[in-house]
Structure 1
Amino acid sequence: MTILDPIGDLLTRIRNAHMIGKTSVLSPASKARARVLDVLLEEGYIRGYTKDIDDRGHPTLKVELKYHEGAPVIRNIKRVSTPGRRVYSSIKDLPHVYNGLGINILSTSQGVMSDVKARQLSVSGEVICSVF
């Protein structure tokens, strides 16, 4: 089965795993997914992730989800820019997520990063998703 939106698929897998209380989730591996997971790891939203090989020989990413006092750390994770509707934003127009308690993940010319780091480097780009 072909996945048309791999990052949207990753976010949905994380959201669904949190809803049923799983500690980890598997996702097909790609560089784009790994970059998004790097940002989530840097910002403390997941425990970590590892690259594995499934039983059919396909590369996968095993994401270790993070909980605090029984509640998931990621309360809401939402895809902003989709393949059918790309959303670009300059730094001055980029809104704060959840009054500064959440992050936007951006794809910039200097790589995938959180909005906090993008503001420090003064770079803009495509808004991939928002997390809080």
Structure 2
Amino acid sequence: MKNHFWNMFTNVRNGQLAKRSFIYQKKIILCEAFLKILWDEGFIVGYKISKKNNDLIKIFLKYTYDGKPTINCMKLVTKPGRRVSYSIKQIWKIDSSKNFIIFSTNKGLKTINDCKRLKIGGEPFILIN
């Protein structure tokens, strides 16, 4: 199984290090759900399906006024060799003001604040500082 999330995270990180305004990523449903969360939370400017190739997504990267990327650090918490799952009690112990975590739940990809509001646990995919 290919880890498409890892490839997308690496592409975003490398694109921001190279000061690119946009990057291309292979179109996958889970990656689109992840991009929608990043867009809703203000980490990227936006994304759209490429006109030339319907299998690619064009991701527009966001920077601060002084040219620094909005995403400082992106870490993959759950890996194929090491699965981690948090209950709702464990999620409540995490400080959501310092870390932004995206969870894979039975209701789809949710942010840490959505998991607390809906009172559901899940598998943490990504940690953004």
TM-score, normalisation: structure 2:
0.89
Residues of 2 paired with 1:48 and 1:101: CA distance?
24
Residues of 1 paired with 2:69 and 2:128: CA distance?
12
Instruction: Report the equivalent of 2:3.
Output: 5
**Gap runs ≥5 in structure 2:** none
* Number of residue equivalences: 126
Displacement after TM superposition at 1:92 (Å):
2.2
Instruction: Report the equivalent of 2:45.
Output: 47
Q: Work out which of the residue numbers 65, 68, 71 in structure 2 matches 1:71.
A: 68
Instruction: Report the equivalent of 1:59.
Output: 55
Q: Work out which of the residue numbers 110, 114, 124 in structure 2 matches 1:113.
A: 110
Displacement after TM superposition at 1:96 (Å):
2.9
Say whether the 8 Å CA contact 1:7–1:33 is kept in structure 2: yes
Task: Provide the secondary structure at the position in 2 that maps to 1:72.
Answer: coil
Residues of 1 paired with 2:19 and 2:85: CA distance?
33
Q: Quick one: which amino acid aligns to residue 129 of structure 1?
A: I
Instruction: Report the equivalent of 1:22.
Output: 20
Displacement after TM superposition at 1:87 (Å):
1.4
Q: Work out which of the residue numbers 11, 30, 34 in structure 2 matches 1:36.
A: 34
Residues of 2 paired with 1:53 and 1:130: CA distance?
31
Displacement after TM superposition at 1:58 (Å):
5.7
Q: Which has the larger share of strand?
A: 1
Q: Percent identity?
A: 27
Q: CA RMSD in A?
A: 1.6
Residues of 1 paired with 2:85 and 2:108: CA distance?
14
- Show CA shifts across 1:45-96 (max 9, x none): 1111111255xx5601111111111111101111111122111111321333
